[in-house]
Structure formats: C-alpha cells, structure tokens
C-alpha cells in the first residue's frame, strides 16, 4: 500500500489549487449573493480539462485516473461547491454515462463538446414524487414509429436550465419495474422540453437548479443510451461516479474549513493572545483535520478501486456518507472558531455550511448510503420493507 501521491498527482493537485484560487475564489461571493450561474467559469473549467478529466483523450477528455480526478474536484470544492457541482454533473453523471454506455456515434456527438465545456449536460433522474426510490419513476417513454415519445416531470435537476443535452430516465413498461427503465439523450431544444428555475435554496445559490417538463418530446431510437431495461443500471453506475465526486468535493470543504480556521485563529486576539492559543480552539481545529484526512483516505480508497476496475459501490457510499457529513460538521465547527465573523460572508465558512448541507441529500441521501452499506454487511435489503 502506497499512501504517497505520485509526482504527477502532486502536480495535478497543485495546478488545480492555483486555478481554483485564481479563477474561482475571486468570483464566489458575488455569484453567491447574486444567485448567478457563472457560465463563463464553466467554460474556463472546460478549457483546462476539468469537465472531462477521467474521460478518454479519444473523446476530448484528459484521460486521468480517478485519484487524479478527485484531486481536481477537491480543489474546486474548496473554492466553490457550485462550480464543483458543474464538474460532478458534467463529468461524472453525464460524460461518464455516455462514455460507459454510449454508442460510438453518441460518444462522438456529445463527449468532445461536453468535455470542452462548449455544451453542458444534466442528469434527469429525480422527479417530484420520486427521489430515493429511483426505480419507481413516473416519466413514461412510449414507442412510436422510429423512436420514442417522452412525457413526465423531473425535479431538482442541476444544470437543467443551462444544459444542451439531458439524460432522461423514463419507464417503457411499468410492470417490469426497474427492468423497464431506459435512458435517453434528449437535446433540450426539443419541442415539448421546457424548464423552470428553482430559487430560494439554502445554499448552492450560484448553481443552476431546474424543474423539467417533458410534454410529448419525440426522440429517435438512436437517442437511447444503452438498451431498453438498462436505464436503472445506467443511473446507478452514474451515481457510483457522481457520489465519488461529491465526496471529493466535500474533502475540499473540510480542507477549506481547516485553512480558514487556522488562519483566523492566529489573527484574532482575545484576552490579549491569538485565539489559536486556546486549547478548546485547537481541539476544534484538530477535529476538523481528523475528519478531512479520514474523508480524503476514503475517497482515495474508492478511487484506487475504480482505477483498478474493481467494484467500488460500497466503498463509494462509505466515502460519500463520511465526507458529506464531515463537511457539514467541519463547516459548523469552522463558524464556531470564527465567532460572529463566521456568520457573514466576509469569510467562506458560512457559505461552506450552506453549500455542504445539500451534499447529504443529493446523489443519494446519507440514509440511502447507510442502507446500501448495511445491506452489503447483512445481506438483508432494508430498502424494501413492504416485500
């Protein structure tokens, strides 16, 4: 077991840190206050290869391994979780699914433009009445001559208003339950495809979030990603990648909390000494460091398995569960270190808390991760209590 990063990985991490500090950090507060989705920043991330880092170079990606990808996502996540959400959705959920399940023409059509940031994509799984029970979705795909007609609604879709292509999961045969699901690559300019922005979010205010309506949207047979009945596996395999990137981004939040707290506690004086001199402040910093390092190790373990082509669903759920919960706890602790200053946006820590909060919800709640881990440990599926 080698716990050292390679020279190449260290370089990837350092250049991602530099990019994040130069290109992302200066924009974060204004974008957050204005609830503005920063398309220009998304393009910049595409230019440096951060939207297709693990995608093969044959399709416009950077061909990095998963540990290298996590190092990039960590730095983007430290700077801004809204930007990190762009990376996660575009790279892991959208590009990752097309690369794994797409036909050669589908890959050629979409991957180079997605990896470069010229086009954005979104992942349409969740619906108003279907969240954790993803197999039970209501969107319907009806066979037509030479294609399919899609009807339904999708909810909480990151990048939904700004995407050029949407992965839409739909049921082709309700009696077959998850075995009837299919995934379609739907251009968002299609007739009958419309979106509405969701406002008033606690955090991730500069991330685009949409409700999508599909009103008799027609797509050709060639728009299907995988085969009829593959839809659920497309979704789950995408989430194996997406959860990994959410976890890596949360390591970045934990790290940002440590950095901000160390720096602030050395500057801020009370009782004539820097508050870093107080044992209780150091204890808070130590707690954050332990969580950050443990989360990072769990991410690296899941990444190493992915790089070896081994199953990593459970290890990814463990990393996602621990890293997201740790990010919330670290952000809360970092505010405590900052006192009143941590409650306003002169420092990043209040945003860390608001932005971290969604990570224990999206791409599978903490409870779903626990049920996945518990099922693997016991052999008992607690997700279908009625059966």
State the residues that interact with ligand CAA by CB under 6 A. 89, 123, 125-126, 132, 134-135, 157-158, 178-179, 232-233, 236-237, 239-240, 313, 362-364, 368, 372, 381, 383
Q: How near is the Cβ of 244 to ligand CAA at its closest, in Å?
A: 11
Q: How near is the Cβ of 188 to ligand CAA at its closest, in Å?
A: 14
Per the residue annotation, which of 99, 127, 350, 363 is the catalytic one?
363
Q: How near is the Cβ of 8 to ligand CAA at its closest, in Å?
A: 29
DSSP letter string over 293-321?
HHHHHHHHHHHHHHHTT---HHHHHHHHH
Using the minimum distance from each CB to ligand CAA, give the nearer residue, 5 or 236. Answer: 236
SS3 158: strand
Using the minimum distance from each CB to ligand CAA, give the nearer residue, 64 or 239. Answer: 239
Using the minimum distance from each CB to ligand CAA, give the nearer residue, 275 or 298. Answer: 298
Using the minimum distance from each CB to ligand CAA, give the nearer residue, 13 or 355. Answer: 355
Q: How near is the Cβ of 334 to ligand CAA at its closest, in Å?
A: 24
SS3 270: strand
Using the minimum distance from each CB to ligand CAA, give the nearer residue, 132 or 270. Answer: 132
Using the minimum distance from each CB to ligand CAA, give the nearer residue, 328 or 335. Answer: 328
- 169 phi/psi in degrees, rounded to 5: -95, 130
Q: How near is the Cβ of 284 to ligand CAA at its closest, in Å?
A: 30
Using the minimum distance from each CB to ligand CAA, give the nearer residue, 333 or 355. Answer: 355
Q: How near is the Cβ of 273 to ligand CAA at its closest, in Å?
A: 44
Instruction: Count the helices and strands in the chain (H runs, E runs).
Output: 12, 10
363 is catalytic: yes
Structure tokens at 331: 């952000």
Q: How near is the Cβ of 89 to ligand CAA at its closest, in Å?
A: 6
**Can you give the three-state secondary structure of the chain, one letter per residue?**
CCCCCCHHHHHHHHHHHHHHHHHHHHHHHHHHHHCCCCHHHHHHHHHCCCCCCCCCHHHCCCCCCHHHHHHHHHHHHHHCHHHHHHHHHHHHHHHHHHHHHCCHHHHHHHHHHHHHCCCCEEEECCECCECCCHHHCCCEEEEECCEEEEEEEEEEEECCCCCCEEEEEEECCHHHHHHHEEEEEEECCCCCEEEEECCCCCCCCCCCEEEEEEEEEEEEHHHEECCCCCHHHHHHHHHHHHHHHHHHHHHHHHHHHHHHHHHHHHHCEECCEEHHHCHHHHHHHHHHHHHHHHHHHHHHHHHHHHHCCCCCHHHHHHHHHHHHHHHHHHHHHHHHHHHHHHHCCCCCHHHHHHHHHHHHCCCCCHHHHHHHHHHHHHCCCCCCCCC
Q: Which residues are designated catalytic?
A: 363
């Amino acid at each position: 077991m080698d716990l050292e990063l390679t020279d190449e990985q260290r370089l990837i991490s350092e250049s991602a840190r530099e990019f994040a500090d130069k290109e992302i950090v200066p924009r974060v507060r204004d974008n957050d206050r204005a609830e503005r989705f920063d398309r220009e920043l998304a393009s910049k991330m595409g230019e440096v290869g951060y939207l297709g880092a693990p995608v093969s170079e044959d399709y416009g990606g950077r061909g990095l391994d998963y540990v290298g990808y996590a190092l990039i996502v960590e730095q983007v996540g430290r700077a801004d979780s809204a930007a990190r959400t762009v990376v996660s959705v575009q790279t892991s959920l959208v590009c990752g699914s097309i690369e794994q399940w797409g036909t050669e023409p589908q890959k050629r059509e979409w991957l180079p433009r997605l990896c470069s940031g010229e086009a954005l994509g979104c992942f349409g799984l969740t619906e108003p009445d279907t969240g954790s029970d993803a197999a039970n979705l209501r969107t319907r795909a009806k066979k037509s001559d030479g294609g399919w007609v899609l009807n339904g609604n999708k909810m909480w879709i990151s990048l939904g208003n700004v995407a050029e292509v949407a992965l839409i999961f739909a049921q082709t045969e309700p009696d077959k339950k998850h075995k009837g699901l299919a995934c379609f690559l739907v251009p968002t300019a299609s007739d009958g495809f419309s979106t509405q922005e969701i406002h008033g979010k606690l955090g991730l205010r500069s991330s685009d979030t949409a409700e999508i309506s599909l009103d008799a949207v027609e797509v050709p047979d060639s728009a299907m990603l995988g085969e009829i009945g593959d839809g659920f596996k497309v979704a789950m395999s995408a989430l194996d990648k997406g959860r990994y990137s959410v976890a890596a981004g949360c390591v970045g939040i934990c790290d940002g909390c440590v950095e901000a707290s160390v720096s602030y506690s050395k500057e801020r004086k009370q009782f004539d000494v820097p508050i870093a001199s107080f044992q209780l402040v150091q204890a808070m910093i130590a707690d954050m460091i332990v969580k950050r390092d443990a989360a990072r190790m769990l991410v690296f373990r899941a990444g190493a398995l992915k790089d070896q082509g081994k199953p990593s669903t459970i290890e990814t759920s463990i990393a996602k569960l621990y890293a997201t919960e740790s990010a919330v706890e670290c952000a809360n602790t970092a505010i405590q270190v900052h006192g009143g200053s941590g409650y306003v946006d002169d420092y990043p820590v209040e945003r860390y808390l608001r932005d971290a909060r969604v990570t224990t919800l999206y791409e599978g709640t903490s409870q779903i991760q626990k049920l996945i881990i518990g099922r693997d440990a016991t052999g008992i599926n607690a997700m279908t209590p009625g059966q």
